[in-house]
Chain A
């Protein structure tokens, strides 16, 4: 069985023989062997696997409280993560509830743990070293070699995806044509001058500056801006009673008044998870002075394409001199060399229920640069449209089925997992197959 197989392997790098090599010094190969041998150790593999298990486990638990992308950044795409002990309490709250575990337990403190990058690179190093030191290329080991190469490709693929993949959404109402996407994970503040009927003059402030808070000055801005508050997520609550008043209420197009509340980030495992709607409070200052012209409360809820939105909140307006500017907190916008027109949106349900059976968008894609028109393309569940290396998926829809939300993805590492899994699955079949046949053969003989 395998133990004996492993022993039979003749290493590529010679073992360090102290009796022979003591005087002559180490040859390069011997030196390499000495360095690589501990890195190549199977014990290290097992330890790394255990650490991965713990990391993935806590990375799952962390999603009870935090949004999935925050967790992924903190746990899996990081060198070191500080794991709060509170997660263990959260686990106990769910599973030891019946044993009377207090539901309001809070455990302070946290401990450091190697993050996904550290473990990923360590596993890769361990793998490569093992092949250099221990394995010889042979028919019997071919499966292992294939599996391990596949694992390496998988790790690299995930790294490439993390570094270079871009996800965004394109929201289109029926009949509308759109040539830009909303980057899902970042927001920006746009100061828009719509006085020219043909072209909007837009100044955009990236999320990075907004999150930092403080003063923002730029020659193109009609005013200086000062961010005084910034929250990752917010919620809007209708104010029903006449007597209910709050300092900065928002009034929707239908006259309903709303209150904006700062919220925690949406948790990763929340089954009703929606996108986060950041909110901020901002002072508009007379350029170069400290005089506050007006204070604004801005939230993503005011952005027309925000898919959670069921309420029509008008954009905030700022008047400077004789010009009017619209202030819009919106997802980071990226313009595309092509445009998409939504011709039709279908939302089928199972008969006699509200359970969705299918969503489908029929679109026309126009790419003037390439002189290309793709008309009547149907995008539906599991049937995306690919153009210029970007893939458009049916993702969601606007309330009342008035429009569609397409997910637009560009992932240069997108093919790697396919190759990887082919290699690994093939390798496993090969490896276990060789052993199984051998094993059954021996039994038949015995």
Chain B
């Protein structure tokens, strides 16, 4: 036992290290297997930037099904890139095996009714084949919803439009209209989509001519058979047209296939890769892929190719998920440390948090490298969540190094874990699910992104961290006997210090934002909702400090106000965005608004608990009892032995 007590934290660290190492090992195909991982690294242009196919696959799947993996019919999980290549290879994307995957997320009962589909509670994902039966009704509803003004659309319209967008993403991929996968074939050339290359070879006029040609042939044949083509019944007319169009399509495809190698060698090489996959020939696939990589990416800058590869690796490494696991275990060990084996569990938690934070840091740096924006941490809502988590964990680690009681670890890890979950959900509900998306023109300045946005976000992080400390104070004090006088005093110092930092950072950040605004459009302050949100946080923190200096609040009051501060963070961070989001961003605004409501409800409950009269607090009664039995020094369980040092 004593051995375990002395070395348990090293064992934990070693286990965590092994997990990281396993996850970091690049997946490699065995000899003679299709190497989808290499395929995923191929650079393509999409959303205004060069990214690996793997990222496109993940973001598309995320938008369609809210997951980055998919299950086949037997319930086996597969990576997104496998789905992407199958969609791109599909000869008929509306039928065939790829239409059988249950991917399209539909949870609205009205939409399910419209499509005539049964509800699948807890899963809610449907295959294209399932949707097919009610497809015509759906398209009618979609047209109706699109025709309406934004403000007149109701819930149902919103959900119909959402499914419409999901189907559209799929359709664009299947028809090769996305991404721009054909690299330039001369210096400074443009990327093109495979569909554009095909259209250049066979323009619509050629397709029409082919169709008419086939139709004429059929009419000739009919006449020879002694039938008048104009006297055919309506149903046979339609059949005739369909057959003619299929035949014409085939002709056109043959022309395209034959001309493509000359018109666009890169497109041809790319199609060869897809063809090899379609036929399931691993050797040919890998050779074709290799040929494409070496021969056809010559006019793509080397750094773009390397970046795409690194991004694909980062996708696979899932660093935030890993860090989240570290934080989750750290929370467990941190809490355990307050019950048994204080030092051992605290050290275990410390190393886990540190390891998680290092992964977190490395990923932030990697993202800077991928975006080519040094010192820019935050470029969108997703990265703000990641950065808030990172900063809060750092704050927690600093508090831990000062106070050595596990509190900094647990509160930092809670924020780190929570923001990892929030970030994931933000990504899934964002318009393009691309965490490295390009920036709006006015935001395209590294200096202000690095200063203003980082400072404001750090202010949010510090305010939130103080809220978590407040929650700890209230929960430990009210529901456990663990909050000794000394512990309470330390926790108060921690809250106070965090609020001071929060005030400094949120104020500096807000003012830097004002200067940026002044600099770019001549107005220091515009009273817009986001600015107002930031100023609310500044005023709230200033209020806490003044109330404390004036002696209006003591420890418990400080804790309650800190918790309330988190409510302001939720308001500024997400709440203000909801006001303007029209009905066109349905799923997004509804889930985020609900998230805000739930968070506020939770904080209000904690605040209510914090307002319970002190005489009912377990820790207060414990302390009183202790005082009563002071002389003999009965052994009270101490929460923070370190604190007595």
Q: Which residues of A contact B (CB under 8 A)?
A: 1-3, 6, 41-43, 45-46, 49-50, 52-53, 56-57, 59-61, 63-64, 68, 71-72, 76, 94-99, 157-158, 161, 167, 267-272, 349-353, 355-359, 381-382, 384, 391, 393, 395, 407, 409, 411, 414, 417-418, 420-421, 424-425, 428-429, 432, 435-436, 439-440, 443
Contacts and interface: CB of A to CB of B under 8 A. Distances in A.
A60 B576 contact: yes
A59 B507 contact: no
Nearest to B527: A72
Contact of B522 (A357, A381, A384, A418): A384
Given A49-B543, A350-B47, 4 more contacts: A42-B546, A46-B546, A46-B550, A428-B503
A270 to B, nearest CB: 6
Contacts of B539: 49, 52-53, 56
A213 B600 CA distance: 48
A381 B49 contact: no
Interface stretch (B78-86, B93-101, B292-300, B511-519): B511-519
B546 A45 contact: yes
B507 A424 contact: yes
Nearest to B507: A424
B527 A59 contact: yes
A94 B579 contact: yes
B365 interface: no
A271 B547 CA distance: 37
A432 B529 contact: no
Contacts of B634: none
B532 A46 contact: no
Contacts of A418: 515
- Can you list the 8 inter-chain pairs with the closest CB atoms, starting with the nearest? A350-B48, A42-B550, A409-B522, A269-B580, A421-B511, A49-B543, A353-B48, A60-B532
A143 to B, nearest CB: 11
Contact of B579 (A60, A411, A425, A440): A60
Nearest to B448: A382
Contacts of A1: 493, 496
B191 interface: yes
B438 A382 contact: no
Contacts of A43: 550, 552
B508 A421 contact: yes
Contacts of A351: 45, 48, 190-191
A110 to B, nearest CB: 20
Contacts of B524: 157-158, 161, 411, 414, 417
B610 interface: no
Interface string B19-61: 0000000000000000000000000011111000000000000
Contacts of A76: 527
Contacts of A359: 441
Interface in B437-457: 438, 440-442, 444-445, 448
Given A46-B552, A351-B191, A95 B532 contact: no
Nearest to A2: B549
B131 interface: no
Contacts of A357: 48, 438, 441, 444
17 contacts: A3-B551, A45-B546, A56-B535, A57-B532, A57-B536, A59-B532, A98-B590, A98-B593, A161-B525, A268-B529, A351-B45, A351-B191, A357-B438, A384-B520, A409-B521, A420-B511, A443-B402
B131 to A, nearest CB: 26
A115 to B, nearest CB: 13
B338 interface: no
A269 B549 CA distance: 37
A271 B580 contact: yes
A45 to B, nearest CB: 5
A41 B444 CA distance: 45
Contact of A61 (B493, B547, B579, B593): B579
B335 interface: no
Nearest to A6: B549
Contacts of B501: 432
Nearest to B537: A53
B542 interface: yes
A372 B507 CA distance: 41
Contact of A50 (B508, B543, B580, B589): B543
B536 A381 contact: no
A432 B520 contact: no
B504 A56 contact: no
